[in-house]
Amino acid sequence: MTSHPAAANGTFSIGGEYPVPRLGFGAMRLPTAAGPGRDGAVAVARRAVELGVRLIDTAHLYGWGANEELLAEALHPYPDDLLITTKVGVVRSEGPQGWSYDARPDSLREQVEQGLRRLRTERIGLLQLHRIDPKVAVAEQVGALRELQRAGKIGHIGLSEVTTSQLAEARQAAEIASVQNRYNLLDREYEPVLEACEAAGIAFLPWRPVAAATPARAKEIDAIATELGATTPQLLLAWLLARSPVVVPIPGTSSPAHLEQNVAAGDLRLDRAQLRSLDLLAGPDTP
């Protein structure tokens, strides 16, 4: 078995620099508009840190910078051991989607500078390429981030929604510390990417870590959760933690109660029979 930075206490060392507990927090769902919703979002972000979360995920795309500004308002000055990771490579556009890929080197440099300003920091510990821009060579995109890393603007480089071949190509241009792909018990399309990350000791940050199941399958999953005295989302997070030592889920919520439940999932332990039962349920769910 390959040796990994994941330790017995449930941490993983991102880039060999940030030992974070293996349950992070995705900030995408936090409301940013002025008013009670924003006040509650600030409180949730602060509560996550109080509960021991040390990896918080955001992106330029989330409110076009508003989510980053919210986290800065809530958490700056940041604890030394807190890793806030953001993503670039997607910009606002006039098209029907309202956004487009843009990972040209000049654009990436500008996006990173904007992120630094919004997060009120001189260095982004983990900067992720939100999507590979099909119009720009992978080596050119990752190479631009490598230059920013050498300049001290970026600590470590991550990728999002990549294939195994894209990951391999990116690793030719720079050291990759993390991959953030869609992955959960019922959606394992990127299983080969997770396996590649495990082999290389790269953190794998599954987004959408909890997915709804069809009634028949949900009944079986719920039964296992009941055995553990846990909620179904907690069980699905615990399964991810058991799946591989490089997995660091980033569940998101705007609810303090759900946040506390998510963090508590890190204390769940699945036995072999439960893992076997869940593995039989794994894979694409169809009506």
Q: Say which residue the tokens 């050498």 belong to.
A: 150
Residue 186's DSSP bridge partners are: none
183 noted as active-site residue: no
Structure tokens at 263: 């963090």
Residues recorded for the chain: 287
Residues 91, 162: Cα–Cα separation, whole Å: 18
Beta bridge partners of 128: 87, 158
SS3 label, residue 2: coil
CB 65 within 8 A of CB 118: yes
Q: Looking at 18, 62, 101, 190, which residue is catalytic?
A: 62
List Cβ neighbours of 217 (8 Å cut-off, separation of 6 or more).
186, 281, 285
Helices 256-264 and 232-243 sit at what angle, rounded to 10 degrees? 40
Q: What are phi and psi of 28, to 5 degrees?
A: -55, -35
d(CA 180, CA 114): 22
> Residue 87 carries which side chain, given as an amino acid letter?
K
Annotated catalytic sites, by residue?
62
